[in-house]
Amino acid sequence: MTIKKVLTTELKEGMVIAMDVFDGQGRLVVPCKTRLDAKIIEKLEKYSVFVVKILEGYDEEGGAGEIVGFYEKLSTSLEFEQFEGAFNKATLKLRNNFENIASGEVELDEKEILSGVQEIIQVNKSASMLDMLNCMRGYDDLTYVHCISVALVCNVMAGWLGMSKSDTDELVLAGLLHDIGKLKIPKEIITKKGKLTDAEYRVVKYHPQLGYDILKNTNLSERVKDAALMHHERYDGGGYPSGLSGEKITEFGRIVAIADVYDAMTANRVYRDGLCPYDVIEHFQKDMRIYDPYFLLVFLEHTAESYVSNKVQLSNGEEGKILMINKTNISRPVVMVGDKVRDLSRDSQLKILKLL
């Protein structure tokens, strides 16, 4: 049995609530372990509850069972509850801002757009931002949720790169706005379950240009506008929309590209679960040529180092603790299993299955 976060608009009758649901004033709306029906779902919508946690595989006789795993444990903490509340609030704010900006009804207000993410950053004091984001993986692929996550990864990257406060804010803004062009893509394509057709994929590939067109006449810096246009360009020239390569792609475009792919691979999709962070690190290692090597190495080394001392489960069923990273093969660290040392860089048959 697992806990999954589901948008209220995606709830279905028969689902079971995993935790008490409260409204914005702290009043109980639906108690834990309530089985949903049409009236309860309507009640949640009436009280403007944006997202709830449900139990998957819940058996009333067997009970809720023990929640195991690093992310499952973190997701039940008070710190995560505060983080999630700020995240959901920021998502709603960003959705309203996106819709107003895309329609041309309201001028873009940088401080207003950044305020939601800055509140998340202020709330998150005790845990790794990447760990917190990996607990937010119960959402389907919504543009707004993805943009908030990419902005937060950009904030982490800015810290690792030693950026100034003003540059950090600008990079976070670039992360927030990088996918605004998707608002101009038909919803049935953006939310489609399963693989896109070639024709549908061609439509989606136009979103960087659409995003740039939305932002080009605003008072934003060119770095932010260009990040929307260039975040799918690739260092080897194999990206789109213009097939730019190397430093013809702006720095922000190259950084947002890494944050974008990281979130896309670790986030749940409507057609698959998110990948283990070490699978994502391995993917980046295999495709080093298509990302800026300096920015990517900073990202991979710091990400891998953040998991040193974490408990993990290996593909052979063994459980251990990450002892150190291998600088020459970052996705395959040294793991201590009991009194034995497993150097995954020397054993191609073993891999990290999940964090515990």
Mean pLDDT of the 113-131 span = 86
Specify the pLDDT at position 138. 59
- 60 has pLDDT over 60: no
What rounded mean pLDDT belongs to the chain?
Answer: 86
- Does residue 24 register a pLDDT over 80? no
In this prediction, residue 38 carries a pLDDT of 85
Per-residue pLDDT band at 251 (split at 50, 70, 90): very high
Nearest to 143 by CA among 202, 204, 201, 199: 204
Go through the domains of the chain in sequence order and give each one's CATH number.
2-66 (3.90.105.10), 81-274 (1.10.3210.10), 278-356 (no CATH)
Whether residue 176 contacts residue 114, with contact meaning beta carbons closer than 8 Å, is answered with yes
**pLDDT tens for residues 81-100?**
889 889 989 998 898 888 88
Strand partners, 256: none
How many residues are recorded in the chain? 356
Please check the confidence at residue 294 and state whether its pLDDT lies above 90.
Answer: yes
pLDDT at 182: 93
> Tens of pLDDT along 279-288?
999 999 999 9
**Reported confidence tier of residue 35, pLDDT bands at 50, 70, 90:** confident
- Average pLDDT of 26-55? 80
Among 25-29, 219-223, 319-323, the range scoring the smallest mean pLDDT is 25-29
Query: Under 8 Å CB-to-CB from 55, ≥6 apart: which residues?
Result: 1, 2, 3, 15, 16, 17, 18, 33, 64
- Which of the two residues, 137 and 255, has the higher pLDDT score? 255
The pLDDT-based confidence of 234 (bands split at 50, 70, 90) is very high
Is the pLDDT score of 31 beyond 90? no
Task: State residue 276's pLDDT score.
Answer: 84
Q: What's the confidence (pLDDT) of residue 64?
A: 41
Task: Give the rounded percent of residues in the chain with a pLDDT score beyond 90.
Answer: 49
Section 229-239 average pLDDT: 97
The residue ranking higher by pLDDT, 317 or 142, is 317
CB 333 within 8 A of CB 322: yes
Q: What does the pLDDT look like over 335-356, one tens digit per residue?
A: 999 999 999 999 988 999 888 7
How far from the centroid of its chain's Cα atoms is residue 290's Cα?
21
pTM to 2 decimals?
Answer: 0.79
